[in-house]
Amino acid sequence: MPLPKTGFSKTMIIVSIAMTVWLLESTAYATEESNNPFLIEMIRYSQDLEQRILEQGRPLTVMESMLAEQADVRHPELVRVLVLPSVPEPKSAVLREKLQQLGILRLIARAKGSAKGYGIVLTTSGAKSPGVIAHELVHVGQYERFDGIEGLMRYHLPDLEANGYRDSELEGEAYRRALEIISNARM
Ligand SMILES: [Zn+2]
């Protein structure tokens, strides 16, 4: 039985056009991302800081583990806490400039804590505040939901650029949930 040649080649043409369109689209997407220094530098800064905390930090205390459970952290045993005089600022000039524009650089300078993946940095006063610890643990739960730093940043940075730090969805959630956790703990 002869193959319906014309039909076959039409299918092949359609398939190859679809493949070409797909390739062009994914190339355009990749180019757009590699041209987004804010995203790239923010991922790098966060991953480097997480690495340092995981290497130098301590596990959660019993009290902190209870807060982690309240914050829906799936793997509290993986969390590490590093207490430092202040949250380390990014060194990258590109990143500093962008964070300055967004009004976030000065917030980092006076922050009592910061979460990067499974790593939490706390200042000496932050380490004494269940509210600060609960807030950062909610962020850890968010990193888990987004499968890590890269996934979270891809979602969070456009929101941060559009709405600002305090009105971004993930920051709002961390403030709200931490308040709930702390008021429940006091009952
Ligand atoms: Zn926060």
Q: What is the pLDDT of residues 114-137, one digit of tens each?
A: 999 999 999 999 999 999 999 999
Residues 22 and 108 in one domain: no
Q: How far is the CA of 46 from the centre of ligand 1 (A)?
A: 14
SS3 state of residue 177: helix
Residues 28 and 40 in one domain: no
Q: How far is the CA of 133 from the centre of ligand 1 (A)?
A: 10
Residues 21 and 107 in one domain: no
Task: Report pTM.
Answer: 0.82
Q: How far is the CA of 165 from the centre of ligand 1 (A)?
A: 9
Residues 108 and 171 in one domain: yes
Strands (E), the chain: 80-83, 113-116, 119-122
Question: Cβ-count burial of 77 within 10 angstroms (0-12 exposed, 13-18 middle, 19+ buried)?
Answer: exposed
Q: Residue 7 belongs to what domain range?
A: 1-35
Please, which residues have CB within 8 angstroms of residue 148's CB and are 6 or more apart in sequence? Answer: 117
Residues 52 and 64 in one domain: yes
Q: How far is the CA of 20 from the centre of ligand 1 (A)?
A: 42
Q: Convert the pLDDT of each residue in 165-178 to its tens digit.
A: 999 999 999 999 99
Q: How far is the CA of 174 from the centre of ligand 1 (A)?
A: 6
pLDDT score recorded for residue 35? 76
Residues 107 and 159 in one domain: yes
CB 109 within 8 A of CB 44: no
Q: Convert the pLDDT of each residue in 80-97 to its tens digit.
A: 999 999 999 999 999 999
Q: Convert the pLDDT of each residue in 16-65 to its tens digit.
A: 666 665 655 555 555 566 679 999 999 999 999 999 999 999 999 999 99
Residues 15 and 86 in one domain: no
Residue recorded with tokens 């995203």: 39
Q: How far is the CA of 134 from the centre of ligand 1 (A)?
A: 10
Q: How far is the CA of 10 from the centre of ligand 1 (A)?
A: 55
Q: How far is the CA of 16 from the centre of ligand 1 (A)?
A: 47
Number of domains within the chain = 2
Residues 141 and 98 in one domain: yes
pLDDT score recorded for residue 21? 58
Residues 65 and 86 in one domain: yes
Above 60 in pLDDT, residue 101? yes
Evaluated on CA atoms 100, 96, 118, 40, the torsion sign reads positive
Confidence of residue 76 (pLDDT cuts 50, 70, 90): very high
Residue recorded with tokens 């070409």: 20
